[in-house]
Amino acid sequence: MGWKEAAEPVLTRMPAVRRPEGHVPFKRKLMWTAGILMLYFFLTNITLFGMQSGGATDLFGEFRAILAGSQGSVLQVGIGPIVTASIVLQLLGGANLLGLDTDDPRDQVLYQGLQKLLVVMMVILTGLPMVFAGGFLPAQQSLQLGGFMLDQTGVQMLMFAQIFVGGVLILYMDEVVSKWGVGSGIGLFIIAGVSQRLVTGLVQPSQGGFFFDWYRILTGQVEVGSLISTSGLQTLLINDGHIIALLTTVLIFGIVVYAESVRVEIPLSHARVKGARGRFPVKLIYASVLPMILVRAVQANVQFMGQIMNSQWAGMPSWLGTYSQQGQPTGGFFYYVAPIYSPEDWMWFSANVAQEWWQVMIRIGIDVTFMVVGGAIFAIFWVETTDMGPESTAKQIQNSGMQIPGFRQNVGVIEKVMERYIPQVTVIGGALVGLLAVWANMLGTIGGVSGTGLLLAVSITYKLYEEIAEEQMMEMHPMMRQMFGGE
């Protein structure tokens, strides 16, 4: 008996959100999407019951904009377990170790059940160290709960239970949006977190807010000095002026929107309906920016492991990693593989950087290499596992009754034409997005949003806009739903 037969009783019984029967009206989709978004913001503001006030360390740190959730809340783990489970499944599927055919309805159910089971396991593996490792989510010494007095271990178990429930909730919230709403829940949560930090970075009435800091500069509360001096330029461009951060944010918006519009359009014509023509667009960012979540999730898990080892292993070798009192890597392996988060991380001529210039350059080189190569690799995985590859695309075109003018109506012929464009564009787009993410991180953005987070937010918002426009068109012209396989 194979693993599929052994695991089928468990995987087929995993709870799932019921698919809608028939067409879901656009207004109802918007209501479901808005409702889940409100629930997400509500849960991110529920503090873990039993946690001490202050002293908590966010293990995800600068990855928080990508992995969503909120430090010290019920959604502590965010979408991290979902992303990690997707990475594991993509690697197993890419190596053909699962033996699952996603075109087979039975295997589809097994795949979805396996994904949910992996997410639950990742919630447990991520939540346990956060609560029980000490220092990351400090628990109260004792807690009166009804008629019971809980000791510190009992309080930690209670906190872990809340994190577990939050991790499972965000899994099914994502499924509700995917089946009943517009877009995906993961994309929605990333947009929510990044947008919140962007708006806060612009309008917060304290130091760090763009408008507030410029008010302080214009009223003379901040000493700028000579505009041609190093200190004066650094104050205006990087520190209080945020000019480079503003320009980077605007440029990222413009570049992503432009890149989304760059495409190779392959002409199509209907085999039976004369005059019915169309085009299949192969965009420059064909795999979208979502594979960047997978790349950054790998880095987040590596840094997460380093933080745990530093807190639990008193004699950890210096070549493996040294950490500051704030829990940031300052040397060793974990320093060199840590991403560049902000300008202060690589400006070795600044007093904020304690490392030598060659150490900083090695770190930059590793980060750029990892993001560019990793972006290309995960983009290929993403295309193959989401039925966007040449073979799957050729089948979709063939099943829709379309063909490429001048070529025989054959799946193999269409696949060969697609192979001229899709693999090359996928690699180029994935590498380009990785390079943009590192560049945005090095120059900084408004609100301290990571470059990857900003790229994801802009790209997901653009795709959400396209999807909403498509839904509205389908709503206005019901016949189009039948043409494109809708119900």
Structural domain spans, the chain: 26-182, 234-456
Q: How confident is the model at residue 94 (pLDDT cuts 50, 70, 90)?
A: low
- pTM more than 0.75: yes
pLDDT of residue 1: 55
Q: What is the mean pLDDT of residues 436-464?
A: 86
Q: Which CATH class is domain 234-456?
A: mainly alpha
Residue 462 pLDDT greater than 90, yes or no: no
Q: How confident is the model at residue 470 (pLDDT cuts 50, 70, 90)?
A: confident
pLDDT of residue 160: 94
Q: What is the mean pLDDT of residues 48-70?
A: 78
Residue 376 pLDDT greater than 60, yes or no: yes
Q: What percent of the chain has pLDDT over 70?
A: 92
Can you give the three-state secondary structure of the chain, one letter per residue? CCHHHHHHHHHCCCCCCCCCCCCCCHHHHHHHHHHHHHHHHHHHCCECCCECCCCCCCCCHHHHHHHCCCCCECCCCCCHHHHHHHHHHHHHHHCCCCCCCCCCHHHHHHHHHHHHHHHHHHHHHHHHHHHHCCCCCCECCCEEECCEEECHHHHHHHHHHHHHHHHHHHHHHHHHHHHHCCCCHHHHHHHHHHHHHHHHHHHCCCCCCHHHHHHHHHCCCCCCCCCCCHHHHHHHHCCCCCHHHHHHHHHHHHHHHHHHHCEEEEEEEECCCCCCEEEEEEECCCCCCCHHHHHHHHHHHHHHHHHHHHHHCCCCCCCCCEECCCCCEEECHHHHCCCCCCHHHCCCCCCCCCCCHHHHHHHHHHHHHHHHHHHHHHHHHHHHHCCCCHHHHHHHHHHCCEECCCCCCCHHHHHHHHHCCHHHHHHHHHHHHHHHHHHHHHHCCHHHCCHHHHHHHHHHHHHHHHHHHHHHHHHHCHHHHHHCCCC
pLDDT of residue 468: 86
Residue 193 pLDDT greater than 70, yes or no: yes
Q: What is the mean pLDDT of residues 215-222?
A: 85
pLDDT, tens digit (0-9, with 9 covering 90-100), for 311-369: 888 778 889 989 888 778 899 999 999 998 888 788 776 656 778 889 989 999 999 99
User: When comparing pLDDT for 237 and 191, which is higher?
Assistant: 191
Domain 26-182, CATH: 1.10.3370.10
Q: How confident is the model at residue 227 (pLDDT cuts 50, 70, 90)?
A: low
- Domains 26-182 and 234-456 are alike in CATH topology: yes
User: When comparing pLDDT for 61 and 317, which is higher?
Assistant: 317
pLDDT, tens digit (0-9, with 9 covering 90-100), for 152-183: 899 999 999 999 999 999 999 999 999 999 88
